[in-house]
Structure 1
Amino acid sequence: MMNHLQFRKEEGIGWVSINHPPANALNRASLEELEQLFAQMEEDQSIRAVILHGEGRFFAAGADIKEFTQIDTVEAGIEMARLGQQLFNTIEGFNRPVIAAIHGAALGGGLELAMSCHIRLGTPETKLGLPELNLGLIPGWGGTQRLPRLVGKARALEMILTSRIIDGEEGYRIGLLNRLVTQDQLLDEALHLAQAICGKSKLTVIKALEAVRETEHSFLDEGLIKEAEFFGQSFSSKDMREGVQAFLEKRAPHFVDE
């Protein structure tokens, strides 16, 4: 039984909906449900494409910050990073195309989830960003590795280091989004794209995905290990505690660089 996701299959397309109100925050339970669901879809050869979207007002507004208060060692931080990284590797390595239909916010872990999908659609109002430095953290679920690969090193560094949130129009302009449509058109556009892919030979789709992965991720694993180490180490800092507490108290953080 899934408490944070909804799933249905129609005409060879798997529809995965994140349903964890109010903001579809990604916690350990939702990550584990996604892992289980993708394992099930891997076995279901009738699924030829997957559409991932969020219910309500958001795609996924980020990780569940309250869970971070329970992490008090470097090792626990690394374990949390690897949990998300391994799931998003599974999605990126899924041998049928995964399309993210992004409305509302895809921030922090939500954007890292979207970036692990093969194709991303959004709306002009979509909000995209990696604001982890506001919490005294760094992105820990692949953000430091995938964002530069998608938009270039300089743009990725600007977004990460300033925690700047961009809209869908800028996301489309810099290549973070494949297509930009109105919110009313978003799921229809994702469906049309999935149907176009489903019309191809499944064997050639699988081989094309494998070929593209081969060219792009020769050094990703090494980067993810280093990212997890830094993510875990940040949990031993005073600034992480201050950043998380300020977020929960809805105030500006006061970092002391310790």
Structure 2
Amino acid sequence: MTYQNILSQTSNGITQITINRPSKLNALNRDTIQELHDALEVANESKDTKVIIITGSGEKAFVAGADISEFADFDVKKGGKLAAKGQELLFDYIENLSTPVIAAVNGFALGGGLELAMACHFRVASINAKMGLPEVSLGVIPGYGGTQRLPQLVGKGRAMEMIMTAGMIDANKALEYGLVNHVTGEGELIALAEKIAGKIMRNSSVAIKGAIKSINANYKDGVDGFKTEIKQFGKCFGTEDFKEGTSAFLEKRKADFPGQ
């Protein structure tokens, strides 16, 4: 598949998707959101992909925000549709993807860029990363899940302060807050993400899929996360991965999971 705004390549079980609009600091527009969805769908359905890494091109930005020129003249109805469509097509889609998604945050991750990173299953950042949700400085609020995911990750008080001040935090502060899992040098970011991806790929992809569903269930209204966990736990017992994992453990050898 050919893309205009992103790059996608797969090697050794990892698909790296790069937002490639460096002249716009990789800002998200409608076409980029659609292309990201398409690339993620292809990767998720591919047997060659075990882990997905999302990053931005260049050294300045992961994603510096949404493309404001696209919606500056929107009215109430169009604004609501913009948020609903974006969340369905990309942000909620990533969060519920069965393939693990790591955000490799290089440089600025602001507005929709931070919302994209937060939708991923977890985040690693380069030391030069700057993160924030500055939407209130434009007279609007985060519309791609930022008001929901940021408090889940850093706590209500910190999220309130970050959103209301429209300020940025650096990589080390993000690490302290729990917004990112690891911080590394600028030239070592992808290598770190790939190292973590390698550890993930040693394990059962079927079990990981069930774990993602169970963890996400805890954050959904009207869903009992414990019941979801019980259901997913039980389903594991009917998989080939469970048979291989337990056999390998008892036979004192490394498991070779079939992913079934």
Q: Which range, TM-score by smaller chain?
A: 0.7 to 0.9
Name whichever of 34-43 and 83-92 sits farther off.
34-43
Structure 1 residue 68: Cα displacement: 1.8
> 1:37 and 1:101 mapped to 2: Cα distance?
17
Is the 8 Å Cα contact of residues 25 and 62 (structure 1) preserved in structure 2?
A: yes
Quick check: 1:215 aligned with 2:218? yes
Structure 1 residue 122: Cα displacement: 0.7
Quick check: 1:131 aligned with 2:138? no
Structure 1 residue 42: Cα displacement: 2.5
1:189 equivalent among 178, 192, 197: 192
Aligned alpha-carbon RMSD (Å): 1.3
Q: How does 1:195-206 map to 2 (within 5 A)?
A: 195-206=198-209
Is the 8 Å Cα contact of residues 123 and 169 (structure 1) preserved in structure 2?
A: no
1:127-180 Cα deviation digits (max 9, x unpaired): 000000110110000000100000000000000000010000000000000001
Tell me which residue corresponds to 2:76: 74
Structure 1 residue 185: Cα displacement: 1.2
Quick check: 1:169 aligned with 2:177? no
Higher-Rg member (1/2)? 2
> 1:124 and 1:2 mapped to 2: Cα distance?
29
Sequence identity (%)? 41
Structure 1 residue 70: Cα displacement: 3.7
Do the aligned partners of residues 42 and 129 (structure 1) sit closer, same or farther apart at CA in structure 2, a change above 3 Å counting?
Answer: same
Tell me, what secondary structure is at the counterpart of 1:217? coil
> 1:149 and 1:204 mapped to 2: Cα distance?
24
Tell me which residue corresponds to 1:83: 85
Tell me which residue corresponds to 2:20: 19
Is the 8 Å Cα contact of residues 9 and 17 (structure 2) preserved in structure 1?
A: yes
Aligned amino acid, residue 11 of structure 1: N
2:54 equivalent among 52, 55, 64: 52
Aligned amino acid, residue 204 of structure 1: A
Tell me which residue corresponds to 2:163: 160
Superposition TM-score, scaled by structure 1 size: 0.82
1:206-232 Cα deviation digits (max 9, x unpaired): 111111111223369xxxxxxxxxxxx
1:118 equivalent among 111, 117, 121: 121
Q: How does 1:229-244 map to 2 (within 5 A)?
A: none
Superposition TM-score, scaled by structure 2 size: 0.82
Tell me which residue corresponds to 1:245: none
Tell me which residue corresponds to 2:10: 9
Is the 8 Å Cα contact of residues 114 and 131 (structure 2) preserved in structure 1?
A: yes
Do the aligned partners of residues 147 and 26 (structure 1) sit closer, same or farther apart at CA in structure 2, a change above 3 Å counting?
Answer: same
Do the aligned partners of residues 219 and 184 (structure 1) sit closer, same or farther apart at CA in structure 2, a change above 3 Å counting?
Answer: farther
- Number of aligned residue pairs: give it: 219
Q: Larger relative contact order (C-alpha < 8 A, sep ≥ 6)?
A: 1
> 2:213 and 2:191 mapped to 1: Cα distance?
27
Tell me, what secondary structure is at the counterpart of 1:193? helix
* Residue ranges of structure 1 left out of the alignment (5+ in a row): 221-258
Structure 1 residue 44: Cα displacement: 1.1
Tell me, what secondary structure is at the counterpart of 1:101? strand
Tell me, what secondary structure is at the counterpart of 2:62? coil
